Structure 1
Amino acid sequence: MTVLHPLTPHHAAHSLVPSISSFRPAALPSTYSIDSLKAWYLNPATDPLHPAIAFSIATSVIVFILGEVTGNVSQVDRLWTTLPLIYSAHFTFWPLVTRQVSHVADLDPRMLLVFALQCAWSARLTYQSARRGFLDPRSEDYRWPLVRKALPKLAFTLLDLFFIAFAQNFLLLAAELPQYLLLTRDLASSTHLSALARLKPSHAQVARVPLNVADAVLALAFVVTLVLEMRADNQQQAFQNLKHGALDKQRKGQQLTAKERSAVERGFVAEGLWSWSRHPNFACEQTTWYLLYAFTVLPFLALSTSITSHPLSTLTPSILFGGASSTTKEGLGLLSAHLPRYLTLDTALTALLHPLLTLRSLAPELLRPGALAQYAARAKLAGLVALAEVRADEGTHWNYSIAAPLLMSALFFSSTILTERISGSKYPLYATYRRRVAKFWPVLTPLKGLFLALTGGRRARVDRRIWGTREGQSAAKTLKRQ
């Protein structure tokens, strides 16, 4: 394995890869008695990731058995509110529990800050889950009965085993990779007794970085995101209360107000934050995990080294050469020398506005013998250069704990596919809502509106269908203020 820089705890090869590869029966206690497990856990030489992995495996097995016995596979859903916090507490206080430090004040303040933020995150999610009845042992995610009905019994059992039970539990553990990274860094920068604290001679020495302005900005952003997520929860709850109250009045033959009639006809919330994102709560949830990851990057960046000055974020070869290695400089120079002269901003704009004319003018060059092979070689070179820069940036501009938010985003993206398919089958207007409002990120919603406005002036018609007349829009604003 080629290492471009001396290893630090921000590199996967420093702690994560050795920890996972060493998780074998020999690393576990000889017996599984309470005393043996306790002694193993409290041993400073135990890798702190090993007890977390063992606990995750045991939890997965229990969840799977409970799901099969009860016929309710939402057992793991009720653990989402607490398991990440348990893992975070394990990593945060592990030096104290194993008596490597004597006082809480000796723990890494950044880890304590992240743990405090996660306590707030867990409190919000627990409250929201309890309010919607998800913590009831008898409740089951409304999507699983539909999936169970669509799949053969064996296929659903395998889905329960590999995804619902094991994959989700491992995901909840992976969500705490930023805390594990911060722990290994703190161990490496101190005189702790653990095996992780004793760095190999080839590893770069690290020092504890005090809390700084980056931590304050990230903490503030986390709190703001959490508040927005709570607001989205409240708006959804207010709409559901309004809709179900209106349906109850309708069954009793009572007259509905314009706001109630709009809620019943549409069927889904589309006001407030939900007019900017189809899943603002999920967007905020993903943002919180990216912010937690950022605690492993931004506070450790020197002011003279920022992402905006990184070679990959610039366009001119002279700036590219300024921060690149000699190998990268040679590759970039070769790439720049062989770029076609006609690849300019003017030609790019012309190609967008007149694609057929551009294609006709480039046909002689593209049909030249060996042209495609030459372009393929250039593309390969560009890819290798970019990959080299990304690898060189590991431990500085990114680290392995980026897997935590990326996995969360993948889960939310895949789960909302089924959610929106169900919503689309229940509510005729949902397809129109999808064309108008972005799935997660609000910045895309104005672009969707602009596209509709530029393609036949459809934006006004779509807006009227979703939010109704002026009377309906006024009612929407009223709900937005709730």
Structure 2
Amino acid sequence: MDALLIVIIVAAVTSAACWVLSLITRDTSWVDRAWSIVPVVYVWIFVAGAFVNGEGSARVVVMGVLATAWGARLTFNFARKGGYTGMEDYRWAILRGRMRPWQFQIFNLLFIICYQMALLVLITLPAAVAAQNPSALTGWDALFIAAFVAFLVGETVADQQQWRFHQRKKEAGGTLAPGFATTGLFRYSRHPNFFFEQAQWWAFYAIGATAAVTGGAGVIGGVLNPTIVGPALLTVLFIGSTIFTESITASKYPAYADYRRTTSMLAPWPPRARAVATQS
């Protein structure tokens, strides 16, 4: 059976399970719990398919290893925050409160389940491209692999800094000025973990694109190939999610407005100088 077909079947079954569980438990975070797991499964299905078809390569194995490292790190971080203990993402609860029950259920099915689960397939498709274009690793592969690892380390550092802040906040009784992390990587980006998460999948896409180019494709079809839809839609998702998350944070912490004015939203960048009021 074709590897892509197997991935689609697994995704469909997982999506159905997440939807049914969300209805039974009234908890819409089932996709969140699958987020760091199913892409790893999909990538290794593509890896296995490549070797079954006699088209295995070091590149596709490396992509499997990179996806596994990404998934292991994200699963650990999600677990230590209580993600697998029945805790629902607070943003879904807020959205549920803003919608009528039937509206939220449509949103749950079409966006939370269908869109996000489809996206988790799309971001792994560069591995399918690599599987279809077996060739030796190149200098470009080395560059993009190194970039992926660097972004993985960056997200690990950002998540750890955020974790330590929230632990200190918890120890302080739930209040710790200014209410959100502003040091370390958070001095240069309001959401460095979000930035590095997206960047990893752009690097993953670049590895697949390298495979296509070494397989004879040009700029169109190689450098720019249909699997770019995955990281592009992931970026759209993160931007929308970030805007919504920040609207909640800004409503809770007055100091966030100033932080937002001086600090880049995603890409790490030196903070802007704070505006100084003129004296008359």
The TM-score with structure 1 as length reference comes to 0.54
Post-superposition offset of 1:298: 3.9
Counterpart of 2:126, as a letter, is P
Output the CA distance in 1 between the equivalents of 2:56 and 2:132.
12
Q: Is the 8 A contact 2:56 2:131 kept in 1?
A: no
Aligned to 2:187: 275
Output the CA distance in 2 between the equivalents of 1:53 and 1:397.
25
Aligned to 2:161: 235
Aligned to 2:150: 224
Aligned to 1:343: none
Output the CA distance in 2 between the equivalents of 1:265 and 1:108.
51
Which of 108, 114, 128 matches 1:166?
114
Output the CA distance in 1 between the equivalents of 2:73 and 2:210.
26
Aligned to 2:79: 130
Output the CA distance in 1 between the equivalents of 2:210 and 2:219.
13
Q: Is the 8 A contact 1:76 1:169 kept in 2?
A: yes
1:100 lines up with 2:100 in the alignment: no
Segments of 5+ residues of structure 1 without an aligned counterpart are 1-45, 187-208, 249-262, 303-391, 453-457, 462-482
Post-superposition offset of 1:300: 5.8
1:142 lines up with 2:98 in the alignment: no
Output the CA distance in 2 between the equivalents of 1:401 and 1:288.
15
The residue correspondences of 1:17-28 to structure 2 (distance < 5 A) are none
The residue correspondences of 1:424-439 to structure 2 (distance < 5 A) are 424-439=250-265
Post-superposition offset of 1:95: 3.8
Aligned to 1:312: none
Post-superposition offset of 1:156: 0.3
Segments of 5+ residues of structure 2 without an aligned counterpart are none
- DSSP 3-state at the match of 1:395: strand
Moved over 6 A (4+): none
Q: Is the 8 A contact 2:205 2:231 kept in 1?
A: yes
1:433-470 residue CA offsets vs partner (Å, 9 max, x unmatched): 11110110123x45xx16x5xxxxx1x68xxxxxxxxx
Output the CA distance in 1 between the equivalents of 2:172 and 2:157.
22
Post-superposition offset of 1:296: 2.3
Output the CA distance in 1 between the equivalents of 2:20 and 2:212.
44
Counterpart of 2:56, as a letter, is L
The TM-score with structure 2 as length reference comes to 0.92
1:242-292 residue CA offsets vs partner (Å, 9 max, x unmatched): 1111127xxxxxxxxxxxxxx723100010100100000000000000000
Output the CA distance in 2 between the equivalents of 1:405 and 1:157.
27
Aligned to 1:177: 125
Which of 193, 202, 227 matches 1:290?
202
The residue correspondences of 1:274-353 to structure 2 (distance < 5 A) are 274-298=186-210
Post-superposition offset of 1:100: 3.4
Percent identical pairs in the alignment equals 35
- Cα RMSD of the aligned pairs, angstroms, is 1.9
- DSSP 3-state at the match of 2:181: coil
Q: Is the 8 A contact 1:214 1:299 kept in 2?
A: no
Output the CA distance in 2 between the equivalents of 1:115 and 1:428.
44
Higher alpha-carbon Rg? 1
Q: Is the 8 A contact 2:22 2:30 kept in 1?
A: yes
The residue correspondences of 1:174-213 to structure 2 (distance < 5 A) are 174-186=122-134, 209-213=135-139
